[in-house]
A and B are shown apart, each in its own frame.
Chain A
């Protein structure tokens, strides 16, 4: 087993994006400085000082309280990235470390060097400080991350771990680095054991009797005589990722790049879990503490980053920013398992492949139209005697093939007015933008006597210009209305 340990020494600063900040910043917890960035260290501020000392050394120091949630989130994101390389990933929150087992993935990634290069690029791109160590157990890897050599140093050219070198490096490390109780470390130091070398040469039975079985087990892990198991990491059921900016952004144009990065992360997550999302939930956090939500609905079957980016951009266009944006987050809650579409190897019917492509295109354009326009419906016919209730508009969704209904009624106009308009009966004739002449009729529709009776006599009327109208006379109030046009 090859365990790679990634340790984040500046996790508190990195999770808030302050490592490379030109303003001196320090993370505080309980009135003591925990971590400082480079600008503050140059002024003389260091970890362990009290806040008053720090401020006196550097008056422009920005003291920020520690945010454990942001740290946890960064570790989760790093674990999600590591999950791409190996199924065995483990997080240790107190030590701020990440353990990945790489033996099984070496062949897939064609060697350790390529794997490590690809793996560490992500952290370098996000400007996150990390130290790495490679060993046969996680605890040994953790200690080796304090050693200056790169992980490739412990690899033999034959493709195996060099146990001698690992043990050699471990022996040189001081006892203070051991992940155990400080009492034990003090006892060891007071008995004269300053490095791990002498500690390894002691008999295990004596160590166990003096310091307990746990310490004995730790030494066994470090020597490599026992295999160590860690609690594995499982990707969460929902996707949530948040990007903090250095400073604030004040234009929608600048939000494009972080949105692209978040969508790329979502793509990795969906591929890991083999599912497809049902929409995006963007959240903008303003510098004054306010929040805004943007909901983007998508009905795609295949994840397409460009299409989702366009939909999000469309939604953002119709939205005005209330203040400067400090950070942006993306959340996806609803997923469904993605069905891999398989094409016909011998597509005899040329339309079969084009059919699925057309459906996908239709879904895409429908999503875009629904994002910008509010009125987007498919027409349908209903079984009702009253003409205004014999049609319906359904919210346009994914296409479903339907068959034509039987026995259509004759003499129905192609255009129906939204509401019947009253015609005047001047000089005992019908008049609607000109004299009307009745041609055919009547067709009597007498319905809904149980609710509100509608009794109408429908006629086809011709205007002098040639337009054909569908008019009716209401039998209850004896008025004439025009209801449609024959196109």
Chain B
């Protein structure tokens, strides 16, 4: 039986009155997102353990949360394993984020082999980061505890994507985040975290370039031709109805999509 002091030193227990001293002791890596770092007591993702990200939808910005740490590992020539992702990890997008696709190993396993494969990847100490999406959840906690133990033994970070319903189940993961998407933001709620109390919330803006709403083409300025400075600047020419194709009308919610009559 470990003593209380030992548990405190291993950061498995935290005291309410002196949690401020338990900042970055080398047991976490910065998330790269300032707002999220502020909410976490360890100021980053915990190293060598499982982190659970609970979300029901894909495409809400769950991977952009991890983009800085993926880029950091890729620059250090570390290996990343993607086990049973819901869709194909698109290589040109990885390159745009600064992640080398040849460092990424893409695995697909059926429901029996996926637990074994995750344990092998985590415990082998050959990978730096393992991302897992499991098709079937387990009601017993022992399977998750084995993954956590393998991550600690193999000194590997593990990010486990689970459905929102798994929030009710106890889990040995050190950090559990609930991801929910709002209109243009991603809302993160901390369900469990090491080094202090949980329950913090924050919103992370999605990338501005993605959410940029284009103007409708009626308001675009057009070039008339004459470059003489004396002539006054003409007002933007209004497009006629025939020039308005059905495609552009979709950008304005008031004008309905016109069925194409030509060809």
Interface residues in chain A, defined as those with a beta carbon under 8 Å from any beta carbon in chain B? 358, 361-362, 364-366, 368-369, 372-382, 387, 390-394, 396, 399-402, 404-405, 408-418, 425, 427-430, 437-442, 457, 460, 462, 465-469, 473, 478, 484-487
Interchain CB contact under 8 A, A415 and B105: no
The interface stretch among B24-32, B85-93, B194-202 is B85-93
* Cβ–Cβ contact B88 & A418, under 8 A: yes
Q: Quick one: closest B residue to A370, CB to CB?
A: B107
Question: With contacts A375-B108, A404-B95, A438-B251 known, is A484 near B90, CB below 8 A?
Answer: yes
Binary per-residue interface labels of chain B (112-129) against chain A in the complex, 1 for a CB within 8 Å, 0 otherwise: 010011001100111100
Of B14-22, B211-219, B223-231, the segment with at least 4 beta carbons within 8 Å of chain A is: B211-219
CB-nearest residue of chain B to A365: B124
Tell whether, in the assembled complex, residue B90 and residue A415 are in contact, meaning their CB atoms are under 8 Å apart. yes
Indicate whether A364 sits within 8 Å of B92 (C-beta atoms), given known contacts A381-B101, A414-B63, A425-B257: no
Find out whether the CB atom of A404 lies under 8 angstroms from the CB atom of B100. Answer: yes
In this complex, the interface size class of chain B, counting residues with CB under 8 Å from chain A, is: 35 or more
Complex Cα gap A429–B257 (Å): 7
B102 within 8 A of A: yes
Q: Which residue of A lies closest to B249 (CB)?
A: A428
Complex Cα distance A379/B95, Å?
11
Q: Which residues of B contact A394 (CB under 8 A)?
A: 102
- Interface membership of B106, Cβ < 8 A: yes
Q: Which residues of A contact B121 (CB under 8 A)?
A: 365, 369
B59 near A365: Cβ-Cβ < 8 Å: no
With beta carbons under 8 angstroms apart, the residue of B86, B92, B102 that contacts A390 is B92
On whether A362 and B90 interact (CB within 8 A), knowing A380-B101, A439-B213, the answer reads no
What A residues does B247 contact at CB under 8 A? 442, 457, 473
B214 touches A467 (CB 8 A): no
Contacts of B190 in A (CB 8 A): none
Taking the complex as formed, is B9 at the interface, i.e. its CB lies under 8 A from any CB of chain A? no
User: Closest CB of chain B to A238's CB: distance in Å?
Assistant: 32
Q: A391-B92, A414-B89, A415-B59 are in contact. Are A379 and B106 (CB under 8 A)?
A: yes
Q: Which residues of A contact B116 (CB under 8 A)?
A: 372
In the complex, are the beta carbons of B125 and A358 less than 8 A apart?
Answer: yes
Residues of chain B lying within 8 A (CB to CB) of residue A485: 58-59, 87
Judge whether A412 and B210 touch: CB under 8 Å. no
Q: Which residues on A sit within 8 Å (CB–CB) of B41?
A: none
CB distance from B253 to the nearest CB of A (A): 7
* Cβ–Cβ contact A381 & B92, under 8 A: yes
- B104 in contact (CB, < 8 A): yes
Chain A residue at smallest Cβ distance from B101: A379
Which residues does chain A contribute within 8 Å of B181, judged by CB atoms?
465-467
Contacts of B149 in A (CB 8 A): none
Task: Looking at the assembled complex, report how far the CB atom of B49 sits from the nearest CB atom of chain A, in whole angstroms.
Answer: 19
Q: When A361-B126, A440-B213 are in contact, do A416 and B88 touch as well, CB less than 8 Å?
A: yes
B64 and A487 form a contact (CB under 8 A): yes
In whole Å, how far is A144's beta carbon from the nearest beta carbon of chain B?
56
**B34, CB-defined interface residue at 8 Å:** no
CB nearest neighbor in A for B98: A404
In the complex, A237 Cα to B202 Cα: how many Å? 67
Q: A378 near B89 (CB under 8 angstroms)?
A: no
Q: Is the CB of A486 within 8 A of B91?
A: no
Bound together, the chains give a CA A16 to CA B97 distance in angstroms of: 65
A487 near B88 (CB under 8 angstroms)? Answer: no
5 A-B pairs (CB sep. < 8 Å):
A365-B127, A373-B113, A378-B105, A379-B101, A382-B91
Q: Give the 10 A-B CB pairs with smallest separation, nearest first.
A: A485-B59, A466-B181, A428-B257, A487-B63, A375-B108, A362-B126, A365-B124, A379-B101, A391-B91, A415-B87
Q: Is the CB of A416 within 8 A of B124?
A: no
From the candidates B87, B109, B126, name the one contacting A416 in the complex (CB within 8 A).
Answer: B87
B125 adjacent to A376 (CB under 8 Å) = no
CA distance A418 to B86 in the complex (A): 10
User: Which residues on the A side are within 8 Å of B120 (C-beta)?
Assistant: 365, 368-369
CB-based contact B79/A415 at 8 Å:
no
Apart from the given pairs A373-B113, A467-B59, 17 other A-B contacts in the complex at a CB distance below 8 Å: A362-B79, A364-B126, A365-B127, A366-B105, A372-B116, A373-B107, A378-B101, A387-B90, A391-B88, A399-B79, A404-B95, A413-B59, A415-B88, A416-B88, A417-B87, A425-B257, A478-B260
Interface centre among A361, A364, A365, A368 (most CB of B within 10 A): A365
B146 on the interface (CB 8 Å rule)? no
When chains A and B are docked, how far (Å) is the Cα of A478 from the Cα of B262? 12
Q: Is B77 an interface residue (CB 8 A)?
A: yes
In chain B, residues 117-172, which have Cβ atoms closer than 8 Å to a Cβ of chain A? 117, 120-121, 124-127
- Looking at B95, B97, B120, the one whose CB has the most chain A CB atoms below 10 A away is B95
Q: For the complex, is B209 an interface residue (Cβ under 8 Å from A)? A: yes
Q: How far is the CA of A375 from the CA of B117 in the complex (A)?
A: 12
| A399 to B81 CA separation, bound complex (whole angstroms) | 14
Interface string of B246-263 (1 = CB under 8 A from A): 010011010011111000
With an 8 A cutoff between CB atoms, is B61 at the interface?
yes
- Bound CA span A484–B96, Å: 16
B94 on the interface (CB 8 Å rule)? yes
A379 and B91: CB pair below 8 A?
yes
Contact B109 A439 (CB under 8 A): no
- Complex Cα distance, B169 from A186, in Å, reads 94
Docked pose: A321 CA to B138 CA in angstroms: 32
Cross-chain contact A416 with B257 (CB below 8 angstroms): no
Q: How far is the CA of A442 from the CA of B247 in the complex (A)?
A: 10
Q: How distant is A353 from chain B, measured CB to nearest CB, in Å?
A: 14
Q: Do B107 and A393 touch across chains, with their CB atoms under 8 A apart? A: no
Q: How far is the CA of A484 from the CA of B86 in the complex (A)?
A: 11
Across the interface, which residues of A come within 8 angstroms of B183, CB to CB? Answer: 466
Question: Most chain-B CB neighbours within 10 Å: which of A399, A404, A466?
Answer: A466
CA distance A401 to B263 in the complex (A): 52
What B residues does A358 contact at CB under 8 A? 125-126
State whether B91 touches A414 (Cβ < 8 A): no
Residue of B109, B121, B210 with most partner-chain A CB within 10 A: B210
Q: Is the CB of A362 within 8 A of B124?
A: yes
With A380-B102, A487-B58 given, is the CB distance from A417 to B96 under 8 Å? no
The distance from the CB of B152 to the nearest CB of chain A, in whole angstroms, is 16
A391 CA / B185 CA spacing, docked (Å): 29
Residues of A within 8 A of B206 (CB): 468
Evaluate whether A415 and B86 lie within 8 angstroms (CB atoms) in the complex, with A376-B107, A378-B101, A467-B57 already known. yes
A325→B134 CA distance, assembly (Å): 38
| Complex interface: chain A residues within 8 A of B259 (CB) | 428
CB distance from A487 to the nearest CB of B (A): 4
B102 & A487 in contact (Cβ 8 Å cutoff): no
- For the complex, what is the distance from the CA of A334 to the CA of B181, rounded to whole Å? 55
A382 to B95, CA, bound (A): 11
A430 and B250 contact, CB distance less than 8 A? yes
Tell me, yes or no, whether B13 is within 8 Å of chain A by CB: no
